Structure 1
Amino acid sequence: MSFVHLHCHSEYSLLDGANRIDDLIKRAQHYEMPALAITDHGNMHAAWDFQEKARKAGVKPIMGMEAYVAPGDRRTRGRPGPGQKPYYHLVLLARDLVGYKNLVKLSSLGYTEGFYTKPRIDRELLAKYSEGLIVSSACLAGEVAGHLMDDRMDAAREAAAWYAELFKDRYYLEVQAHTSEGQAKLNAKILSLGDELGLPVIATNDAHFLKHEDHDAHDVLLCIGLGKDRNDRDRMKYDDGLYFKPANEIRPFFPGREDLLTNTLAIAESVDVQFAKKYYVPSFPLPPGVETENEYLVRLATDGAKVRYGDPLPAHVQERLDYELGVITKTGYAGYFLITADFIKAARDRGIPVGPGRGSAAGSLVAYATRITDVCPLEFDLLFERFLNPERISMPDVDVDFCFERRGEVIEYVRQKYGKDSVGQIVTFGTLKSRAAVKDVGRTLGFTPSETDALAKLIPNAPNFSLTVKEAIVQVPEVKAFYQNEPRYKQLLDFAISLEGLSRHTGVHAAGVVIAPGPLDEFVPICTQASKGAGGSDDERVIVTQYDMTSLEKAG
């Protein structure tokens, strides 16, 4: 019998998970697992990329999240009372498209309403967005597990019964196949509670790294995240069993309970999330007396062309204008032009410097007529088809340059016009690049800053020539000598090789802004980030999409 991992962390459980998406999918294929879930801590950063890659590989993707659930109201800030925990873990999986949308909503609200050290939700939100979700009780940090470990049997029963009632036939108790302290004792109590309440149980592995031999590298990653020295005896540690196990290594933990594995297959079988390929374009607010965006764009473009070329328009200008407007209105992108022209006009009206236009948009006469660009495409014989081709329709792409000191005012204008909840910036991920990996790993292993700085500087890192740690060991004689002759440095470099390229932290894209045709969290998951580039104070938290720009475009 096979088995499906339903509790699994990718590198987007930042500095806690060390699994790259591609590696997880290949591992699931290798073990002939029909499906795979990704359940990162409080976020869905990996979800879109994961589901796309998994489908191509023939592995059914299960999009999920290990949520942080506040014991009381999510909006309450401050330290919990005596004996209370600040949050509990809970695994949420999207069963269908409704479940995916509710997962998006819950993840987003965790940041926008419940953020206090972690993005937290609560029972109120779970009750409101329960449809289409499959739920399991999570790890040692789960609510049911916490009560059982503290011998609060009535509280454990109450929690399990509440979830089982809310998620009827979609709630599972969870036992885990590893040897963390207290895990075996907890597993026995959970199996007993499952029998008592008639609740199904699933086996999971809480996989944070790929293979057993990756444990030490993951331990270093954990130290980087915690800011701890690896020799610190009091720091948090994971046991070496939290790797991506095959079914034959899960089964011995639960002799005689094959149902714990087959239940994972049944859950995977019930999951079906399909996405329609479409673009979600916001509407432009039309002035009184204008009924459609197409009508308004034709009017603006015609009036603007007359300003540029004179009235009446020369025949060749009229012909090109008619052709372009025909393509734009037919493809449904009139609103895109109106929105773009409007925020560029707003910038100019405020005296904010705006560039003349770059790239393929300069080939559009409509863009020139509406002052999106300031380069005449007819004078320079530029092709409209490079910008918007009726034979191969894709979203138009206008590159706009604003003065970097005042672009925050343009973003704020857009927020005010389309609604703060409909406008967001785009997340980026800082990764452990070669030099950073060397410094971060060295710090946890007790190297001095001068030692790691000296080693890091030996690794080329120029715009036109940079090397990975592995390449530097081969190509840079000084690094090679450290690796071959100094055991301390060899250990540091080996860990740096293992961890290089993993996502380290989130940031805000310098130029990307998203405008949705409604609240952004009805389309994609969002989070919050402190940002200086949003026209506010240093500590202002701005809305940022959880998907990066590539996934956003694919998500429409």
Structure 2
Amino acid sequence: GAEEAVEWFKNIFGDDFYLEIQRHKTDRPDADQTTFPKQQRVNEEIIKIGKKYGVKVIATNDAHFVNEEDAEAHDRLICLSMGKDFDDPDRMRYTKQEWIKTTAEMNRIFSDVPEALANTMEIADKVEIYSIDNPALMPFYPIDSSFGTEEEYKTRYPEAALIEKFGETNFKRLGGYDKAIRIQLESDYLRHLTKIGARKKYGEELSEEVTSRLKFEIDTITNMGFPGYFLIVQDFINAARQMDVAVGPGRGSAAGSAVAYCLGITDIDPLKYDLLFERFLNPDRISMPDIDIDFDDEGRDKVLQWVTEKYGFEKVARIITYGTMATKSSIRDVARVHKLPLAEADRLAKLVPDRIPNVKKINLREAIEHVPELKEAANNPDPLVRDTLKYAEMLEGNVRSTGVHACGVIIGQTDISDIVPISTADDKETKEKLLVTQYEGSVIEETGLIKMDFLGLKTLTIIKDALINIETTHGIKIDINTIPLDDPKTYELYSNGQTTGTFQFESTGMQKYLKELHPSKFEDLIAMNALYRPGPMDYIPSFIARKQGKEKIVYDIPVMEKFLDETYG
């Protein structure tokens, strides 16, 4: 058993294989006192086996919290996770020695085996300094070798030529010669696909406006190192369409990209609507492109399955989410394990205000300082009340649960486990195992991994079903992308506020303003959608009055009229 396992690991890892001993001795009556005697028996055998097989022994301490004084809060957290009351004699207990011990504390505990302490430091010296921050690790889009290969491109583009093309500083930022070669190949293929798409969208003879816009965008995308991103996105969007999955026309700043339009990523002509590419990718501010892609919510999983099969299970992962203990819920949770009466727990939680003047983020400490009743409870002579607030404050912000990000998906250049720690989660629909990053979305970009948002939109499912029903009942096949944008009956529905179920136009407030506005062109709807949000909402009455000629349109700077006339100044 144990000796065979030690031999096996020793043969594989050599001098990098160690055996550990732990000593969680405690004399606290409220702690687990059965662990230490077991550890002593195991430690004795480990030291013997280590000597027999020439494996060094190290001294460690199990760590579940940071400081010694956190032991009591940790005890309550275990009660919460196990669904036990604090006074339950049969509940799980720790030794309360599981904090991150100092050098002095470890020296005292293992004074009789100094070599085990020295060996622990040996491991620390072996660990290389490394950073989890990486430049963008763009997945490799498989380009057909008939178009070109990296080896072929190296004969075509010597290093000096690419340094001149990208500029020395940018060349280094992109990652050097091999990365630049890859980007050049992807850029040329992107240009090739864009040209094909542009002729379909704008006609065989491209105008100077279209040509110059596409050149500017592709040059910017290339210099920022992102042509591979566009190739990957257009690939799975086109695959989705081939699988009869409804795809949204595009939303957000990506709609400002003519390249995205030509590739079929979006279905909105940015030149027609004077949309800015720089809102999407700005050469003066290097950041990852972020394209939100809408799929019908029934077809989204098909697309994700396709992506996983194309790039490999180990290279595609979802993103974890952490549910933390909020201020009010931490009070209620601790009160429950303390058996504090429900009415009192509810009273304490409700004393926490939703806002405190000049306080950005409310926590229990701030609430106690600002709410006299809470301060009084924190100093209550009844230990049940006092301790509930004490440990609620200590546990506030702790991770209570984990989940999977609703739409974020990572596609890796290599196995994702090479870059970040991973775990698994069950797919809610199929119950299959999904890879999940253990880093949440807010820090994923810093690791270099590329996040893409696959959104499932119910509205697209409704539209898709409606088109199928129309064809089934009336024999009429409708292409949703070719419906007219100037249909008077449609604007009549909007003017009557009959927009229930219409994405971003169905709220009561929006319906009220639509009745007042009487929109008569598509640009009116664009403007209302932009205005109906905090801040610009104040301008809605003026916008409506100007459209209806009840308020004079004034241009503070006359030259701006050609840019602002669509929105009435």
Flag whether TM exceeds 0.5 (same fold): yes
Distance in 2, matches of 1:475 and 1:405, equals 49
Native 8 Å contact 2:246 2:299 kept in 1: yes
**How many equivalent pairs are there?**
397
Distance in 2, matches of 1:457 and 1:555, equals 40
Q: Say which is worse superposed, 312-321 or 182-191, in terms of deviation.
A: 182-191
1:236-255 pair list within 5 angstroms: 236-255=92-111
Native 8 Å contact 1:364 1:383 kept in 2: yes
The SS at the match of 1:447 is coil
Distance in 2, matches of 1:199 and 1:422, equals 36
1:284 to 136, 141, 155: 141
| CA deviation profile, 1:20-62 (whole Å, cap 9, x unmatched) | xxxxxxxxxxxxxxxxxxxxxxxxxxxxxxxxxxxxxxxxxxx
The SS at the match of 1:546 is strand
Distance in 2, matches of 1:164 and 1:416, equals 37
Native 8 Å contact 1:424 1:514 kept in 2: yes
Native 8 Å contact 1:209 1:218 kept in 2: yes
Distance in 1, matches of 2:49 and 2:19, equals 9
1:164-243 pair list within 5 angstroms: 164-179=10-25, 180-182=35-37, 183-243=39-99
- Evaluate the alpha carbon distance shift between residue 445 and residue 297 of structure 1 in structure 2; reply closer, same or farther with a 3 A threshold: same
- Evaluate the alpha carbon distance shift between residue 502 and residue 390 of structure 1 in structure 2; reply closer, same or farther with a 3 A threshold: same
Using the TM superposition, give the Cα deviation of residue 189 of structure 1 relative to its aligned residue in structure 2, in angstroms: 4.4
- Evaluate the alpha carbon distance shift between residue 166 and residue 157 of structure 1 in structure 2; reply closer, same or farther with a 3 A threshold: same
1:428-443 pair list within 5 angstroms: 428-443=321-336
1:339 to 232, 239, 249: 232
2:366 to 468, 471, 477: 471
The corresponding residue for 2:250 is 356
1:53-452 pair list within 5 angstroms: 155-179=1-25, 180-182=35-37, 183-274=39-130, 277-286=134-143, 289-291=146-148, 293-348=186-241, 350=244, 352-359=246-253, 361-404=254-297, 406-449=299-342, 451-452=344-345
Using the TM superposition, give the Cα deviation of residue 382 of structure 1 relative to its aligned residue in structure 2, in angstroms: 4.0
Native 8 Å contact 2:23 2:36 kept in 1: no
- Evaluate the alpha carbon distance shift between residue 404 and residue 262 of structure 1 in structure 2; reply closer, same or farther with a 3 A threshold: same
| CA deviation profile, 1:104-150 (whole Å, cap 9, x unmatched) | xxxxxxxxxxxxxxxxxxxxxxxxxxxxxxxxxxxxxxxxxxxxxxx
Native 8 Å contact 1:353 1:402 kept in 2: yes
TM-score normalized with structure 2 length:
0.62
The corresponding residue for 1:553 is 445
Using the TM superposition, give the Cα deviation of residue 196 of structure 1 relative to its aligned residue in structure 2, in angstroms: 4.7
Distance in 1, matches of 2:375 and 2:104, equals 41
The corresponding residue for 1:494 is 390
- Evaluate the alpha carbon distance shift between residue 210 and residue 295 of structure 1 in structure 2; reply closer, same or farther with a 3 A threshold: closer
Distance in 2, matches of 1:502 and 1:545, equals 19
Native 8 Å contact 2:110 2:117 kept in 1: no
The corresponding residue for 1:506 is 402
Distance in 1, matches of 2:90 and 2:407, equals 43
The SS at the match of 1:440 is helix
Given residue 13 of structure 2, which amino acid in structure 1 is its aligned partner? F
Q: Say which is worse superposed, 473-482 or 310-319, in terms of deviation.
A: 473-482
Using the TM superposition, give the Cα deviation of residue 492 of structure 1 relative to its aligned residue in structure 2, in angstroms: 0.9
The SS at the match of 1:230 is coil
1:4-15 pair list within 5 angstroms: none
| CA deviation profile, 1:203-262 (whole Å, cap 9, x unmatched) | 212122222222111111122222222212222211232222222222222334322222
Matched, 1:526 2:422: yes
Using the TM superposition, give the Cα deviation of residue 342 of structure 1 relative to its aligned residue in structure 2, in angstroms: 3.0
Distance in 2, matches of 1:287 and 1:236, equals 59
The SS at the match of 1:245 is coil
- Evaluate the alpha carbon distance shift between residue 185 and residue 392 of structure 1 in structure 2; reply closer, same or farther with a 3 A threshold: same
Matched, 1:541 2:397: no
Native 8 Å contact 1:344 1:354 kept in 2: no
Distance in 1, matches of 2:14 and 2:63, equals 27
Distance in 1, matches of 2:44 and 2:102, equals 22
Native 8 Å contact 2:245 2:299 kept in 1: no
Ranges in structure 1 where 5+ consecutive residues have no aligned partner: 1-154
Using the TM superposition, give the Cα deviation of residue 192 of structure 1 relative to its aligned residue in structure 2, in angstroms: 4.5
Using the TM superposition, give the Cα deviation of residue 307 of structure 1 relative to its aligned residue in structure 2, in angstroms: 3.9
Given residue 242 of structure 1, which amino acid in structure 2 is its aligned partner? E
Native 8 Å contact 1:347 1:354 kept in 2: no
Using the TM superposition, give the Cα deviation of residue 357 of structure 1 relative to its aligned residue in structure 2, in angstroms: 1.9
Distance in 1, matches of 2:239 and 2:226, equals 20
Distance in 2, matches of 1:426 and 1:224, equals 25
Distance in 2, matches of 1:411 and 1:423, equals 9
Native 8 Å contact 2:24 2:36 kept in 1: no
The SS at the match of 2:293 is coil
Distance in 2, matches of 1:478 and 1:429, equals 31
Distance in 1, matches of 2:4 and 2:143, equals 54
Using the TM superposition, give the Cα deviation of residue 434 of structure 1 relative to its aligned residue in structure 2, in angstroms: 1.5
Given residue 218 of structure 1, which amino acid in structure 2 is its aligned partner? H
Q: Say which is worse superposed, 216-225 or 170-179, in terms of deviation.
A: 170-179
Given residue 18 of structure 2, which amino acid in structure 1 is its aligned partner? Y
| CA deviation profile, 1:75-116 (whole Å, cap 9, x unmatched) | xxxxxxxxxxxxxxxxxxxxxxxxxxxxxxxxxxxxxxxxxx
Overall identity of the aligned pairs, in %: 42
- Evaluate the alpha carbon distance shift between residue 354 and residue 460 of structure 1 in structure 2; reply closer, same or farther with a 3 A threshold: farther
Using the TM superposition, give the Cα deviation of residue 494 of structure 1 relative to its aligned residue in structure 2, in angstroms: 0.8
The corresponding residue for 1:17 is none
TM-score normalized with structure 1 length:
0.64
- Evaluate the alpha carbon distance shift between residue 454 and residue 529 of structure 1 in structure 2; reply closer, same or farther with a 3 A threshold: farther
Q: Say which is worse superposed, 505-514 or 349-358, in terms of deviation.
A: 349-358
Greater RCO, CA 8 A, separation 6+: 1
| CA deviation profile, 1:275-323 (whole Å, cap 9, x unmatched) | 5844332333446854454344223322333344344222122111112
| CA deviation profile, 1:384-413 (whole Å, cap 9, x unmatched) | 344334455443222334444543333233
> Higher Cα Rg: structure 1 or 2?
2
